[in-house]
């Protein structure tokens, strides 16, 4: 059961990172980066959520009781 949830978390993290990459490469993001010099907050939140979800998934899979 734990390994199944871990795999789901890893798949979810990959999807979040891909979505973050799409948001970071959007036209609006490039305009904000050009004029304000800061990346879009939504992309950073998606990258961070993907990393945390992936780490949680790996812990569920590999951590022994």
Q: Say what the pLDDT of residue 28 is.
A: 81
User: What pLDDT is recorded for position 60?
Assistant: 94
Decide: residue 38, CB within 10 A, 0-12 exposed, 13-18 middle, 19+ buried: exposed
Q: Is 57 helix (H, G, I), strand (E, B) or coil?
A: helix
- Where do the domains of the chain lie? 2-62
Which tens digit of pLDDT belongs to each residue from 19-65? 999 988 888 888 877 788 777 788 899 999 999 999 999 999 999 87
Q: What is the pTM of this model?
A: 0.83
pLDDT for res 56: 97
């Amino acid at each position: 059961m734990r390994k199944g949830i871990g795999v789901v978390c890893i798949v979810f993290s990959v999807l979040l990172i891909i979505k973050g990459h799409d948001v970071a490469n959007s036209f609006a993001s490039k305009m904000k980066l050009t004029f304000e010099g800061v990346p879009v907050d939504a992309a950073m939140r998606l990258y961070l959520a993907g990393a945390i979800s992936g780490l949680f998934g790996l812990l569920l899979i590999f951590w022994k009781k």
